[in-house]
Amino acid sequence: MKEAAERHSEFIVFTYTEPKVFYEYMLDIAKIAHARGMKTAMHSCGYINPQPLKELLPYLDAVNIDLKGFRREFYQKMGLAELAPVLECLKTIKAAGVWLEITNLVIPGANDDPAEIREMCGWIKENLGADVPVHFTRFMPAFRLNSLPPTPVAKLEEAARLAKAVGLHFVYIGNVPGHPAESTYCPTCGKRVVTRVGYNTTQISIRQGRCAFCNAPLAGRWGR
């Protein structure tokens, strides 16, 4: 905390590895950060019991949850886990009013079936709302999945089209630097309001939470 303050950091993000393994440490830091006016965020797999999650959420400003698939069988095979607790986690975060985003790593032949992606996006819209951002991220072979190919960009683009067809407003493609779907577009006029290339933001056309082109309100936590 001392170093964060000395660097004038505005945000502390709890992320890799899975931050729940140091839950008590994260909770203590989040409380101190909020007391000092700093913002906090967590990137997690969402496999957490309801009570500790509810205790943590008042001290978080944003959460990104990896929704790894939408089939129980996938969760059991790939992670020896269950899907249902992750879905409950998402609903709990949304109900708490904390800004929520979802990342889905699209793995060739494992969770990339169009019907599954469409069903997942439909569940997100119905249970969490159309404004929850969804990031379809490109898989790259590594570790125990070294034999699989990288996710074709066309498959990510297909997933993004399905999500938009269902009615989700903010759909992204990740791990493809330079792709137009890294950026944010106004759901009302379609103009690009945040330009991103990789981890760099090069342009923001948002004024007091509204599109600078059509003045429509934009869901999010905007600093300008």
pLDDT in tens, 111-156: 999 999 999 999 999 999 999 999 999 999 988 889 999 999 999 9
Q: How far apart are CA 65 and CA 68, in angstroms?
A: 9
Q: Where are the domains of the chain?
A: 2-180, 183-224
Mean residue pLDDT of the chain comes to 94
**End-to-end distance of the chain based on CA atoms, in angstroms?**
26
41 touches 13 (CB < 8 A): yes
Record the pTM: 0.95
Task: Give phi and psi for 39, each to the nearest 5.
Answer: -95, 155
Predicted pLDDT of residue 3:
77
Q: How many other C-beta atoms are found inside a 10 Å radius of the C-beta of residue 44?
A: 20
- Domain 2-180 architecture: Alpha-Beta Barrel (3.20)
Inter-residue long-range contacts of 16-21, CB under 8 Å, 24+ positions, other chains counted:
16/43, 18/44, 18/45, 19/43, 19/44, 20/44, 20/45, 20/47, 20/48
Three-state DSSP state, 18: coil
One DSSP character per residue, 31-77 reads HHHHHTT-EEEEEE-----HHHHHHHGGG-SEEEEE---S-HHHHHH
Predicted pLDDT of residue 133:
98
Is 206 exposed, middle or buried, given 0-12, 13-18 or 19+ CB atoms closer than 10 A? middle
64, pLDDT greater than 80: yes
| Residues ≥6 apart with Cβ < 8 Å to 37 | none
Q: How far apart are CA 158 and CA 191, in angstroms?
A: 21
**Count of CA atoms in the C-beta half-sphere (13 A) of 145:** 16
27, pLDDT greater than 60: yes
Q: pLDDT tens across 205-214, in order?
A: 999 999 999 9
> From the centroid of its chain, how far is CA 79?
19
Q: pLDDT tens across 190-202, in order?
A: 999 999 998 899 9
